[in-house]
Amino acid sequence: MPDWGAHLSEMRQCAPLVHNITNYVAMNVMANVLLAAGASPAMVHAVEEAAEFTPLAGALTINIGTPSGPWVAAMEASAQAAQAAGLPWVLDPVAVGATAFRREIGARLLALGPAAIRGNASEILALSGAAAQGKGADSADPVAAAEEAARALACSTGAVVAVTGPVDYVTDGARGWRVANGHPAMPRVTALGCSLTGLVGAFLAGAGDRATATVAALAYFGLAGERAGETAAGPGSFQVALLDALATITPDALTAGARVQAA
C-alpha cells in the first residue's frame, strides 16, 4: 500500500495555490478547509479574469453547484487554460442529473480533460449517463451502485473518479480502492463534499500518482471527520472541530489512521 501520509506531507510542503470556481454555498467552508489543511485557496469566477488566473495556481477545481451562463463560460475558459498549462483540474458535478442545463454543463466540462472527478454516487451515475436517483445535491444511491459507472467514466475520460459516501470508492480505470474513513455527521453539514473536492485539487498539485493522491485526500478528510465526531455536540460544532482536526492531523497520523483497501 502507498504511504498515504507522504501525500499529505508533499501537499503541505508545496502549499499549493488552488483556484476554485465553486458555488455560493461552499465558498467560505471550502476556503477554510483548504487553509486548515495547509493549502492556499482562491475563489475566482468572473469570466473576465478566471482563465488568466488559472495558470498562477497549482490546481483548479470546478463545481457546478450554483451555475449560471457567465459562470459556465468562466468554467470552460479556466478548464481550457488548465489544459494548456498542463495543470490538473478537478470536476465536482453537483446535482448533475437534476436538470438539462446541468447535464449539458457536465458533458461540456467532461470533454475538457479533468484529472479527477469527485462526486456522490447519484452524481457519478448521472454523469456517466446511467439512471440515478439524486435528491438535489444529495445522493440517493449507494456507492456500490456507482462503482461500475466510475470505472467506465475513468476509462472513457482518463480521469481518476472518486465516489464518496459512507465508504468511498476511487478508481483510475485499472486500479481501485475503498476508503472507510468518515463520520455520519459529514453529510449533515453543507458543502463538505465541495470542500473535499478542493482538497483533492490540493493533493493533485504536483502529485506523481494522481489516483493515490486522491485516495490520500479522501482518507485524510474522513479521518478528520472521525476526530471531529469525538468532540462535536452537533453539526455546528462538528464543522468547527473538522477544521481543527484537518490542521492537527500529521502525516504519520494519516498513515496510521487511513482505512484504505484495494478494491
Ligand X SMILES: Cc1ncsc1CCOP(=O)(O)O
- Interface residue list for ligand X (CB under 6 A): 23, 25-26, 65-66, 94, 137, 190-194
Rg (CA), the chain: 16
With CB cut-offs between 5 and 8 Å by kind, which of ligand ADP, ligand X, Mg ion, none does residue 186 bind?
A: ligand ADP
Closest to 91 in 3D by CA, of 137, 59, 134: 59
User: Which residue's CB is nearer to ligand X, number 128 or number 212?
Assistant: 128
44 binds, options ligand X, ligand ADP, Mg ion, none, Cβ within 5 to 8 A by partner type: none
What are the contacts of 45-49 at 24+ separation with CB within 8 A?
A: 45/21, 45/71, 45/74, 46/70, 46/74, 47/71, 47/73, 47/74, 47/77
**Stretch binding ligand ADP (CB under 6 A), from 101-109, 180-188, 236-244, 247-255:** 180-188
Question: Which residues, 6+ apart, have CB-to-CB distance to 130 below 8 Å?
Answer: 146, 149
Beta carbon of residue 248, minimum distance to Mg ion (angstroms, whole number): 25
Q: Which residues bind Mg ion (CB under 5 A)?
A: 94, 193
Span of 70-78, 149-157, 163-171, 255-263 interacting with ligand ADP by CB under 6 A: 163-171
Options 23-31, 41-49, 178-186, 250-258: segment touching ligand ADP (CB under 6 A): 178-186
Q: Per the annotation, does 118 bind a ligand?
A: yes
Residues in the chain, total = 263
Best CA proximity match to 16, nearest among 87, 91, 117, 112: 87
| Closest residue to bound ligand X by CB | 65
State yes or no: 103 annotated in a binding site: no
Are 123 and 134 in contact, with CB atoms under 8 Å apart? yes
Stretch that binds ligand ADP, among 159-167, 169-177, 207-215, 240-248 (CB under 6 A): 159-167
Residues 52/194, Cβ–Cβ less than 8 Å: no
- In the three-class reduction of DSSP (H, G, I as helix; E, B as strand; rest coil), residue 179 is classed as strand
Contact 3, 250 (CB under 8 A): no
Binding-site residues for substrate: 43, 191
List residues near ligand ADP by CB under 6 A.
Answer: 120, 138-139, 164-166, 168, 182-184, 186-187, 192-193, 196, 218, 221-222
